[in-house]
Amino acid sequence: MNPPRSVVIGAGVAGLAAAIRLRLKGYDVTVIEANDYVGGKLAEIDLDGYRFDAGPSLFTMPSLVDELFELAGKNPADYFRYRQLGLICRYFYEDGLVLNAWSDPERFAEEVEEKTDASKTQVLKLLRKSKRIYDITAHVFLFRSLHRMKTYLRWQTVKSLLRFPQIDPLRTMHRANQQAFSDPRLVQLFDRYATYNGSNPYESPATLSVIPHLEFGQGAYLPEGGLVAIPKALHRLGEELGVKYRLGTQVSRIEVEGDAVTGVVVGSQRQPFELVVSNMDVVPTYRKLLPKLPAPERTLSQPRSSSALIFYWAISRTFSQIHLHNIFFSQDYQAEFEHLWDQKTVYHDPTVYVFVSSKALPEDAPEGCENWFVMINVPANEGQDWDRIIEEARSNIWAKLSRILGEPVAPHIAAEDILDPRSIEARTSSYQGALYGSSSNNRFAAFLRHPNFHSKLKGLYFVGGSVHPGGGIPLSLLSAKIATENLSL
C-alpha cells in the first residue's frame, strides 16, 4: 500500500519542519518552494566578500531544532551546532549610558544597579515574573492548539486558567514596566520586547513580558555558520529522510472537492495530494491559492505586525565599541511608536538594531572589516513612499550611530544592500511585508490568529509565523509541531 501523498507549500523554517514531521509519520512528502533556495526569511546575502543573515539574527529555544533530529534518530550536533552567548545585547542611549545585557541575570542586574537609578531587585523581580508567565502560559499558548477543545479539557490548562491574573493581561506592557522600574531607561529596554513579535508596547498586553525569559532564563544562541545554518540543516535532514524538494516552482492553486483538499495546481498541471500544508502567509494562501473558498475575513483583517527596513553594510574597518547584538535607542520611544502605528511612517530618530555576526564568526567579513546588519522597525506596506523613507532613514541612522559612537560611520561603508517591506513581501509572500503576520496589540490577539488547520476542509493545514502560535523561529517551529501532531495514516 502506497503512503498518503502530502505537499508543503513553502520552504520556510516551519515548512521544512512540517515536512520532516510528516515524513517521520510515514507520509510521502513533497515541498514546493517559489524561490530557488530554502529558508524563507532565514536566507543569506553575499556582498563583495561579506556574508549576512538576511533575516532573524537572535536564536532562542534551540531544543526545538534539536528535537527534529532526535525524532529522526540522528545526533543534532552532526548537522547543526550553536553556542550560547555570554553577552546577549549591548544597549546604547543618547545620554551616554551603555548597558550590557549579560546572559547571567545576576550579573545583568548588578550592572543595571551600578549604572542606572533602577535596582538589582527590580530587574530580578521582572525576570521572575517573566518566568512565571512562561510557566503558566507556554504549555497552553505555545505548545498546543488554542482551537481544539481537548486543549482546555486538560487539568494543566485548568490550573493555568485559575492563575490567569498572574499573566498580567489587563495592563499594557509599557504600564507594567513603568510600574516595575524607577529608571525610564529600563522601562524602554523592557518595552522593546514587544517588537520581538512586531507589536507596540503601549498597546500590547503585559503578558508579552514572557519574552525576556526566553533570553535570560533559557539562553540566547548563535549557530555556527549563522542563522541560515538552521534551514540548511533541516533541508539536509529532509533529503536524507526522503522528502522531495521542488525549488523555483510556484503553486498557483489549492484544489478542493467537496469538503476536502485533493491537490495543488503547478502551472497548468494538477497534482494530486491527500494532505496540503501551507507555509505561505495565511492572507495570500486564501486570496491567491483558495480564491473561491469563503475566507475568514475577521482573521485576515487583523492589523498586521510591523515590518523592517534593513541595510546590509560592508564596513571597511572594525568598531570596538559595539558587540554582536546592539541596540541604539531613540530618545522618545513613545513618539517612535506613534509614528510607526498611528501615522504609518518612520520617526526621524528611530531605535536602531545593529547585528555584526563577524564579531563571533570572523569568516563573515574580510580581515579587519565587519558586516553590519542594520535594522529599524517600520510599518507594514500600505503604499508608503518607501524610496523617500529609505533615503531619510539612511541619513538619520548615519547621524545617530556616528553621534553615539563618537566617530563617522558612512565613510566606512564599502557596499550596501537593502531589504524593505516591498521586497520582504515579494521574496517571502508575507502580506504587506509584515514580519509576524498579525500584531499582538490587544489582549485577545493570541486567540485571533488563524488555527493550524482548516475547520471545514479535510487535509488542509497551516504553519508559519502568520498562524498560531506566532512569528519568529521558535514559534514557527512549534506551528509545524502543532499542525502535524494530530495526523494519523
Mean pLDDT across the chain: 95
- Reported for 139-146, long-range contacts at CB under 8 A and 24+ positions apart, including other chains, are 141/446, 141/469, 142/469, 142/475, 142/478, 143/478, 143/481, 143/482, 144/482, 145/451, 145/452, 145/453, 145/468, 145/482, 146/446, 146/447, 146/449, 146/451, 146/468, 146/469
Reading phi first (left if > 0) and then psi (alpha if -120 to 50, else beta), residue 248 is in left
Q: Which domains does the chain have, with CATH numbers?
A: 5-42+225-300+438-484 (3.50.50.60), 123-218 (no CATH)
pLDDT at 488 over 80: no
- Render 54-89 in DSSP notation, one character per residue: SS---EE-THHHHHHHHHTT--GGGT--EEE-SEEE
Q: Give the amino acid at 299.
A: T
Average pLDDT over residues 87-109: 98
Integer-rounded Cα radius of gyration of the chain: 22
pLDDT band at 479 (very low <50, low <70, confident <90, very high): very high
pLDDT band at 462 (very low <50, low <70, confident <90, very high): very high
Q: What is the pLDDT of residues 263-319, one digit of tens each?
A: 999 988 999 999 999 999 999 999 999 999 999 999 999 999 999 999 999 999 999
* Separation between Cα atoms, residue 230 and residue 243, nearest integer Å: 17
Contact 120, 112 (CB under 8 A): yes
What pLDDT sits at residue 366? Answer: 98
- Asked whether the whole model's pTM tops 0.85, one would answer yes
Tally of CB atoms within 10 A around 335? 13
* Separation between Cα atoms, residue 171 and residue 166, nearest integer Å: 11
Beta bridge partners of 32: 9, 246
Closest C-alpha among 59, 40, 217 to residue 124: 217
Q: What is the pLDDT of residues 408-460, one digit of tens each?
A: 999 999 999 999 999 999 999 999 999 999 888 877 776 778 999 998 999 99
Half-sphere exposure in the Cβ direction for 5 (13 Å, CA): 11
What pLDDT sits at residue 161? Answer: 80
